[in-house]
Structure 1
Amino acid sequence: MDVELRDLRLAVVTSQHRSLRQAAEALNIRQSTLSRRLHEIERQLGMVLFERTNGGTHLTMVGLEFIASAKRILDDVDRELRRIRSRSRGELGLLTIGVQASPSAGHMHATLVEYHRRFPDVDVRTVDGSHDRLLCALAGNAVDVAIMTGHATAWDGRMLPLWSERVIVAFPEHHPLGQNSRIRWADLANEKFLVPQQGPGPELEGLLAAKLRHAIDSQHIIHQDSSLDRLLSLVSANYGTLLMFEGATGVRHEGVVYREVWDDDGPTQTNFMAYWREANSNPALGSFLAMLNEHYPDFSAGPKAT
């Protein structure tokens, strides 16, 4: 037996009309062609599906059961084809995003909100990690794209410059520096810093060392393996101050105040970039990168840019 999907569609359309002529017109084929094809389907199945009378074409009892089954099959095929087409357009599936800093506010949060609005059927999974950890995850296909600071010279995949975020310092509410509207790096020379070991911690510690040079040493650094919320709890309890990026300030904590850190010419800012592997064929990654390119077009001539 060799009944094809097109045969099922012919039979279903014929069942929906009173005559072979009307069915043939709906299918845009000759009536004689439709009649021959229906006879061939019945021959292959070894059953009579239609009664042909002067009053029109009607389904037999067996034909009614066959058409019901044919409709279910065609509906299943159409549904799967729509799903596959959606997946191929990046409208369905799973996207894994490596995130170096908290996306509780700012550009990263807005990006995730817009992506979900555009592609609500794509599931997004986020993976936290330091710069080095996320680069390893990219190389090992554990994440599709990573949003991180800086410019990784060792990375031989694709990169897209994105946004800049201000560097923020979190103080206990009654800290003397918390009363200032503007914080200079030199003001922080005697502070004790809580530095997370994951996420943006290593980059922020490097920034501290670069900005304060010899004024900062190991006695000023307390490494923590904790979430942002727990770190802010320690800040509010006066265990130290915390450097963070602007996008993390959506996390509000009682007893903590945020202030910008300034260089001589304005607020200190750090650039963020998207990193991904050119060989990654996940369609959801393509739709995500296309959206990023709308907001952050890359005008560089470098070979690694989109």
Structure 2
Amino acid sequence: MRRRRLKDTSLHQSPQLFSGRIPMASLIQTLAVAEHLNFHHAAQALGISQSSVSARIRALEEELGIPLFERNTRGVRLTEAGRHFVERVTTGVDHLDLAIKTASLAASGDCGSLRMGIHGLIPGSFLDHLVTRYRADHPAIGVEMVEGSARDAIIQLRAHRLDVAFLVGRFDLPDCHSRPIWTEPLVAALPANHRFAEEPCVTWPDLASETFLVRHGGTGPQVHDHIVLRLAGRWPQPVIQRFEVERGTLLSMVAQGFGITLLGAASQLSPTAGVAFLSIDDEPEPVVFSAVWSPQNRSAALRNLLALADEMGRSTQPN
């Protein structure tokens, strides 16, 4: 009567069996016997004694209350309950193995995801090369890029919706880490028919009477503040118009004669018809681009990206 009752017992009715009382070794040895259908061969494959395997499986059967194997003089075979048990344990062990491998890859930064805030992505720019190299080095990392202003990016970093942001300027934030990564000269974008378009360069006094076009998003706020700083004290004050447009549209507006704008030198790598890019001769320093991230973010994927950014940034510095 006892044997019949135990045979009819469903494994699904006993979730407590996997609460930690059954050693993993017992499950592994059960799978080995199920594979070889021979206690001696299973013990050899595991590098342990046959008596140890037999004792463990007997203890497991007693713990479960069901026979997993039928033993006879010709060998061993799985019972019907044993077959179902082994199928599910095999799946569970496979899932556990995958979980361990995935955790190991995530810990080393070789799988997972990375959310990156950017000011824009220009083909051939430092940031473009950085993303290309990182994705080549870590193909299992899903990279997501979000374009926006520095203010928006910092808000998202603080809310843990971004892992890192590459922003214009230097930052000294009490709750974020940051460091400069690369620099670019500042250039003025003028209409191709502008009176200075054929000059080798311009100066800030040359630009003082121009209408400046800046974006609300992206690097627009920093460009706005930079213009005000460089032309402070002049009268009349500079005319600065702000638009809710993307970089490409802003350059098209420059080409059409709405005004001029300021950009990092990488913008010249993506020429726009009707626009001339000129260096600013009296601009005292290049534009700094910094990485900003939360100190609470211990992601290995982020750590690998920052290490690569530092390496590439050093290689672009003049000797």
**TM-score scaled by length of structure 1:** 0.83
Partner of 1:11: 30
**C-alpha displacement of 1:32:** 0.3
Gaps of 5+ in 1: 298-306
Q: Equivalents in 2 of 1:179, 1:186: separation in Å?
A: 17
Deviations 1:43-75 (A, max 9, x none): 223333223344433333443333222211111
Count of aligned pairs between the two proteins? 294
Say yes or no: does 1:238 pair with 2:267: no
Correspondence list, 1:137-216, <5 A:
137-155=156-174, 157-215=176-234
Q: Equivalents in 2 of 1:46, 1:264: separation in Å?
A: 83
Instruction: Give the RMSD, CA atoms, in angstroms.
Output: 2.8
Q: Equivalents in 1 of 2:286, 2:122: separation in Å?
A: 18
Say yes or no: does 1:289 pair with 2:312: no
Q: Equivalents in 2 of 1:140, 1:281: separation in Å?
A: 15
Q: Equivalents in 2 of 1:254, 1:141: separation in Å?
A: 40
Deviations 1:50-103 (A, max 9, x none): 23344433333443333222211111222222222222333333323232x322
Q: Equivalents in 2 of 1:246, 1:216: separation in Å?
A: 28
**C-alpha displacement of 1:22:** 1.9
Correspondence list, 1:250-269, <5 A:
250-263=269-282, 269=286
Say yes or no: does 1:109 pair with 2:160: no
SS in 2 for 1:176: coil
Partner of 1:227: 246
Q: Equivalents in 2 of 1:17, 1:154: separation in Å?
A: 63
Work out which structure has the larger RCO, using CA pairs closer than 8 Å and 6 or more positions apart in sequence: 1
| Counterpart code for 2:102 | R
Q: Which structure has the larger Rg over C-alpha atoms?
A: 2
Q: Equivalents in 1 of 2:236, 2:71: separation in Å?
A: 95
Partner of 1:301: none
Could you say if the C-alpha distance between residues 219 and 296 of structure 1 is closer, same or farther in structure 2, counting changes exceeding 3 Å? closer
8 A contact 2:208–2:238 mirrored in 1: no
Q: Equivalents in 1 of 2:67, 2:220: separation in Å?
A: 75
8 A contact 2:186–2:287 mirrored in 1: yes
**Greater alpha carbon shift after TM alignment, 238-247 vs 57-66:** 57-66
| Counterpart code for 2:30 | A
Percentage of pairs with the same residue:
27
SS in 1 for 2:280: strand
Deviations 1:147-205 (A, max 9, x none): 22332345453222211112122222333322234333333233221111222222222
SS in 2 for 1:22: helix
Partner of 1:49: 68
Q: Equivalents in 2 of 1:68, 1:191: separation in Å?
A: 76
8 A contact 1:5–1:74 mirrored in 2: no
